[in-house]
Structure 1
């Protein structure tokens, strides 16, 4: 029987939502490895909308769930419907949406709060001893889920690593092509576009993360 993986998205677009390449690479690798997945996102307004050509904020409002649906061709559910008993593992791709929509890490750093429904889902997997994969900036939420001492990586950015450690996690420097695993927590992390200069580079660590999460499931 194929393994079932929940994937939580944070919108659509690197600057205000989920990093699209990371999501597609994750879903592709899951299929390549014979796993099945279901995408989820919170039904809430985005923090803001960014013009991805100019980088400037736009005067409009968008919904995280509706925008995330663009990436997975509409096959998505409200994260409040995520039942941990129906899945073997959970993966959270990165993008600024993780730090702006799923949490306020972009604004409060170590003192951030995670969106309640997303936090509940992540904690449910942790409590059940089921593996979790966090990509790119998503490991910044690790201590909020697993508690102080959890080992993770966002790559090698000194300021972000310092904020991750201030939150209670143990940060481990990592190259783009590799992963960091906290065996006790069954947490796997990879830098992805925190370091990647291309989709090919991003795929190396993401493929390893997906493979390891499935092996742990």
Structure 2
């Protein structure tokens, strides 16, 4: 039986949703590895909408689930209906949506909170001893979700690393092609586009993260 992985998205687009290349590279590696995947997103409004051509905020609202459907070719599940029991592992791509929509780190820094439905869903994998992978900026949520002392990386940004340490996380500097593994908690993180200058660079760490997550699944 194929391993099945949930991929939690936060919209579509690096500045206000999920980072598209990170999401696609994750899905590509899962497919190459013979794993099944299901994209999931909260059915709620995004924090704001950014014009990706200009970088300016737009006077409109968009829905995370609807936008995530662009990445998933329509096959996206409402987070409210998703059950941890249906999956073997969970992966969270980055993009500013992870820091704006799944939590409020972009606004509150180390005083952040995670959306209750996201917190409950991600934490349920940890409680079931199932592996979880997070990339780019998404690992800022790890101390809040998994507890103090959790090992993680967002790369080498000293300011973000300090915020993670303030929240009780054990941040480890890693290169774009590397991952940070917390074997006790079955967690894997990688910098991805926190450091990557192109897809080829980003793919190295992302592919390794996916491989490590799949290797941790009990079958």
TM-score under structure 1 length normalisation: 0.99
The yes-or-no answer on 1:205 pairing with 2:205 is: yes
RMSD: 0.5
Cα offset, 1:133, TM superposition = 0.2
Other-structure match for 1:112: 112
Equivalent pairs counted in the alignment come to 217
Other-structure match for 1:143: 143
1:167-204 C-alpha deviation (Å, 9 max, x unpaired)? 11000000000100000000000000000000100000
Q: Tell me the SS of whatever aligns to 2:70.
A: coil
Cα offset, 1:110, TM superposition = 1.1
Other-structure match for 1:40: 40
Whole-angstrom CA distance in 2 between matches of 1:4 and 1:70 = 21
The yes-or-no answer on 1:79 pairing with 2:68 is: no
Whole-angstrom CA distance in 2 between matches of 1:25 and 1:53 = 22
Whole-angstrom CA distance in 2 between matches of 1:8 and 1:192 = 16
Whole-angstrom CA distance in 1 between matches of 2:167 and 2:44 = 25
Whole-angstrom CA distance in 2 between matches of 1:102 and 1:138 = 9
Cα offset, 1:53, TM superposition = 1.0
Runs of at least 5 residues in structure 2 that lack an aligned partner in the other structure? none
Asked if the contact 1:126/1:145 (under 8 Å) is kept, the reply is: no
Whole-angstrom CA distance in 1 between matches of 2:10 and 2:105 = 13
Cα offset, 1:80, TM superposition = 1.4
Whole-angstrom CA distance in 2 between matches of 1:71 and 1:84 = 21
Higher mean alpha-carbon deviation, 151-160 vs 111-120, is at: 111-120
TM-score under structure 2 length normalisation: 0.98
The within-5 A match list for 1:21-60 is: 21-60=21-60
Q: Tell me the SS of whatever aligns to 2:205.
A: helix
Asked if the contact 1:84/1:125 (under 8 Å) is kept, the reply is: yes
Whole-angstrom CA distance in 2 between matches of 1:25 and 1:157 = 23
Q: Which structure 1 residue ranges, 4+ long, deviate > 3 Å from structure 2?
A: none
